[in-house]
Structures are given as C-alpha cells and as structure tokens.
Structure 1
Amino acid sequence: MQRFEGRVALVTAGAQGIGAAVARRIAAEGGKVVVTDLQEDKVNELAAELDGLGLRVDVTQRADVDAAVAATIERFGRLDVLVNNAGGCIVTSVPEDTTDEEWHRQLDLTLVGAARCIQAALPHLVQARGNVVTISSVNAIGAFGNIEYAAAKAGQLAMTTNYAARYGGLGVRFNVVAPGTIRTPNWDNQLDTLEKFKKMYPLGRVGEPEDVAAAVAFLASDDASWITGHTLPVEGGVLTGPGLLDLTPSGPFRKEY
C-alpha cells in the first residue's frame, strides 16, 4: 500500500520505540517523514535511513516546535499528518507526595506539549485537509496507576474530541491511539516486569511498536477519512478487565504510613 504517497508527516519523539516504528511505517507507505526527538544523533540516523528530515526538538519549548514546523514546510512544502508521540511518565513519587512542580512538568510535557504541536501545525493541516494522531495510553481509560501521567494522557483525549468538533468543518481530523504495554527501549532494564505483565493481557503478550504504528497508519490515512474525535485502544484486550493490577489503597501500589 502507498497510502501516504505525496504526503508529509511530522512525528514527535521519533528516535526509537513507537515513534520510530510510526515513521518507518509511513515512509514504507510512500510518505515523507520529519522525525523530531531530544536524541539528536538517533533521530538524524533514522531520518537518513528514511530519506527524511531529523530535528532536535523539545516539545516543552514553543520556539523548538514552531521551528520544526517551519523546517518541515521549508523542506517539503506541506504538512499532512502530525503524530503527537512525545510524552512520558516523569513522576516517580506516590501521588500523595507529588509536588506542584512535578504536576506542572508532567502536564507540560505530555498534554501541553501536544497542544503546542497542534497549534503550530494547524494552519498547514487546514491547508492540506490533514489530520492529527495523538499517542495516548490505556492509563487514560482505566486504572493502571501513575495518576499524574494518566491525568495528562486523559487530557489528550478531551483535547482531541474538542479539536475534532471545532475543525471538522475545515476537513481536519483528530484521533487518538491508546496503547497498552509496548516493548520499547524504556523497558530494556525491566524485562522481568514485561514478562509478568503478559499475564494481564488476554492475547498473552505485550505489544510491539509495530502494533501501534499499524493503528496510526490507518487513522492517518484515507482509510479513516470518516473517523474523527475517537480513541482507538491498541492493548491486547487488557481493558476487558480480568488481568488488571490491584491499584487500590490496600493493593501493592499503596503508600506506607
């Protein structure tokens, strides 16, 4: 399939894991890709592999985001797809101890960072009648812990729904992919934990970056031309419930008083 022939996609946090898989999938289907990340060497290597453009971008810095969109237009002349993949769980304390600064950092990276990218890209997406796919998480839908991260990811869902309603009349679509546990380099030092997590998933495994990339490619393509404002869980059945971890105050992820 060449669903992205003649189209340009900007993928944030694309140096590895889900972002890199998305960039490779779009390029394999004929698209041009601009890949951004804080890891400049890795992002440049991937861009060279895909005959695209690699940029060092911090999504918490508006100047970086604006410059990335400007560079995209300068290099390729258009922008059709924005994939908001930047984010992460940066709060490690139990929620009762989370500071205001930690809350602000989490929201700024994961929620406001995505909003910055949308704002910068929107004029060009309107012109191209393009679309946005934001990578959220099952944490936005179910109780999997990491409350601050979950709240930021849930905010992405509400933001997407409202953008979809506001800009649908201009032909711009907004959707979300909500992955479960995905085998990314972030888990390289926690392989035992990944093995345990398999028991949570009715399909008997954790996800791979390519599982998410396939869903993103669908939503970003014309195959989903009448889908907007929706969240597509890509989660191996974990939201069906039987394998959920016990996250109640009496469960294993409680604060000791």
Structure 2
Amino acid sequence: MTSSHGLEGRAAMVTGGTRGIGLAVARQLAAAGARVCVTARDADEVRRTAAELGGIGLAGSVADPAHLREVTRATLSAFGRLDILVNNAATNQPFGPLMDADPDAWREAFTVNVEAALRLVQCAWRAWMREHGGSVINICTEGAGHVGPGVGAYGTSKAALLHLTQQLAGELGPGVRVNSVSPGLVRTEMARFVWEPGEQEVASGLPLGRIGEPDDVAQAVLWLASDAAQWITGADLLVDGGTRVRAAHRPTPVAAHHLPGT
C-alpha cells in the first residue's frame, strides 16, 4: 500500500530552501518523492541544494516580483506542474522597539514576510493550481499569538501572514488547500541569538523538554502537503514543544496543593 505521505509525481517549490527549516522541508518533500525547486538569495547554496535533492534551484530575493515570476516559470518548465508551494523565506528585521524601527526596514519585513507569499501564491494559482489544484503551506510563528521584546515587526508581519493564510483558504477552495505551520523556538541560524545563550534554560521550561529542530517543522509541512491532510484548509498547525502551555508545566507545590482532588 502506498503511504498517504507519498508525493511521487508531484512538484514543489520552497522559498528560503537552502538553510534551516526551508532546507529540512525541501529534503522531506524530496524524500517523499516530490521534485523540488528551491529558491534563496545565495547562488552557491542554491546550486548545492538543488544538486543534493536532484531538483532545480534559482537564486534571488522573494522581495523581487520578477524573481517570483521567473522561479514559477522555471518550476513549470522543469517539472510540468506545481502542486506544492511552501512560503518559508522570512526576515526578522528590524529587531528592537517599534518606536525605533526604521520605516524602510518595517516595510521590508512586510514585503518579504507577507507580500511575497501572496505574490507567489498568485503566480502558482495562475500558472497551475487554478486548473489543477494544489497545497500551499505558509511558515508563520508561534510568536504571532503574543507580543515579545524586540520582535514587533516580525510578529506583526507573521500575524498578517496567518490571516492571509485563512483568507486564501476561503478564497481558493475547494481545489487549493492553504494552511500554515507555526514553529516555536527552532535551532536555526536566524534564531541563534535566542537559543544559543540559554538553550538548557529554555528547554527545561517546555513540556517536551527541548527546543525544536528543523525536521520537527518539516514533518508537519510534509503532512499538510500530503493527501493525509486532504480535508484540512485554513488551519494553523502549532509546532512549539508546548510553548503555549508551558505555564502549566511542573506546577509549584503551592499550585499543586490547590488542584482538584489534592
């Protein structure tokens, strides 16, 4: 029996697909049988990743609408189809208080994290998905659900991406499913400044006892892209090791004393 996670014969595109979560996603999709196109800024990394996956790659910025059109054409030219789109490329700049945020950097955050995702969905829709269907997965963040120091631009833009996911899910069904995955703290270069100084302390405060790995997120993306999730759209899959529920983790003796039945 063929696995419901099998993606043989399908084609996928992953933005920011040469590092961290994006690279893990591209590898998981390829391992499941999909032909994969990756795009990222660094041309050498794109070439190496495409060669590793046996797919194709195109270097460029998702902030450039011409690049998004070009990478869509390249995917259709190489594979003859585009079934899966993973919008993973992102920026966490400007970092710091919003009162100090440079307006140009603020706009760049929304251009990369929100506008590029919409533009690429439009490209995929017009080129293939409108007639043939498909699956879109946007990489959001657990942090979109609350505020935090220094990440106002990132969190606000990802909250917008979360809403965009739901709006597109409503507009593009039934042929195209649109979902999102919201990671907690994951061991990536972009998040190194968060996890490296105090990884053990952060991990000990999580119900699952560790920070995330890129493959944790990639497995969730693979499932959403597959037929196993064929009746799911407009959903946000939280992959955070229990970050949202950590307030209940390891209650103090005083708190335990007041639990029902104690």
TM-score, length-scaled by structure 2: 0.88
Q: 2:80 aligns with which of 77, 80, 86?
A: 77
Structure 2 counterpart of 1:195, from 182, 192, 200: 200
More off after superposition, 34-43 vs 63-72: 34-43
Shift of 1:184: 1.3
Residue 33 of structure 1 aligns to a residue whose secondary structure is: strand
1:197-256 deviation per Cα after TM superposition (whole angstroms, max 9, x unaligned): 213421111000000000000001110000000100000000114289xxxxxxxxxxxx
Query: Is 1:176 matched up with 2:180?
Result: yes
Matched length: 243
- Measured in 2, the distance between the counterparts of 1:206 and 1:198 equals 5
Alignment pair present for 1:130 and 2:127: no
What SS is found at the alignment partner of 2:94?
A: coil
User: Deviation of residue 16 (structure 1)?
Assistant: 1.0
Q: Do structure 1's residue 87 and structure 2's residue 93 form an aligned pair?
A: no
The CA distance in 1 between the partners of 2:248 and 2:66, in whole Å, is: 43
Q: Secondary structure at the match of 2:58?
A: strand
Q: What is residue 163 of structure 2 aligned with on the other side?
A: 158
Tell me if structure 1 keeps the 8 A contact 2:61–2:67: yes
* Residues 187 and 194, structure 1, Cα contact 8 Å, conserved in 2: no
Shift of 1:185: 2.8
- Note if contact 2:91-2:112 (Cα within 8 Å) is conserved in structure 1: yes
| Residue 42 (structure 2) aligned to one of 39, 44, 66 | 39
The alpha-carbon distance between structure 1 residues 106 and 200, as it changes in their structure 2 partners (threshold 3 A), is: farther
Structure 2 gaps of 5+ residues are: 250-262
Secondary structure class of the residue paired with 1:35: strand
2:212 matched to which residue of 1? 207
Amino acid at match of 1:42: E
- The 5 A counterparts of 1:225-240 are 225-240=230-245
Per-residue deviation, 1:120: 1.1
> Taking structure 1 as reference, are residues 243 and 209 closer, same or farther at Cα in structure 2, changes over 3 Å only?
farther
Q: Distance in 2 between matches of 1:119 and 1:83?
A: 13
1:148-194 CA-to-partner distances (Å, cap 9, x unmatched) read 1101000111111111111113x100000000011013355762233
| Residue from 71, 85, 100 that aligns with 1:97 | 100
RMSD: 1.7
Bigger Cα displacement from structure 2, 84-93 vs 215-224: 84-93
CA spacing shift, 1:109–1:208, aligned 2, 3 Å: same
Higher Rg: 2
Q: 1:141 offset after TM fit, Å? A: 1.4
What's the CA shift for 1:105? 1.3
Give SS of 1:174's match.
strand
2:143 to 139, 142, 149: 139
Structure 1 distance, partners of 2:190, 2:106, is 21
Check 1:243–1:44 CA distance in 2 against 1; reply closer, same or farther (3 A cut): farther
Task: State the alpha-carbon separation in 2 of the partners of residues 186 and 149 from structure 1.
Answer: 12
Residue 56 (structure 2) aligns with:
53
Where 2:165 maps in the other structure, the secondary structure is helix
Identity within the alignment, %:
39
Instruction: Give, in whole Å, the separation in 2 of the partners of 1:5 and 1:160.
Output: 26
In 2 relative to 1, CA 98–188 (structure 1 residues): closer, same or farther, beyond 3 Å? Answer: closer
Matched letter for residue 72 of structure 1: T
TM-score (norm 1): 0.90
The 1:116/1:243 distance shift into structure 2, 3 A limit, reads: farther
- For residues 133 and 200 of structure 1, the distance between their equivalents in structure 2, rounded to whole angstroms, comes to 29
Q: Do residues 9 (structure 1) and 39 (structure 2) align?
A: no
CA separation of 1:243 and 1:34: change in aligned 2, threshold 3 A: farther
Q: 226, 232, 257: which one pairs with 1:221?
A: 226
User: Runs of 5+ in structure 1 lacking a partner?
Assistant: 245-257
For residues 188 and 97 of structure 1, the distance between their equivalents in structure 2, rounded to whole angstroms, comes to 23
| Residues 95 and 152, structure 2, Cα contact 8 Å, conserved in 1 | no
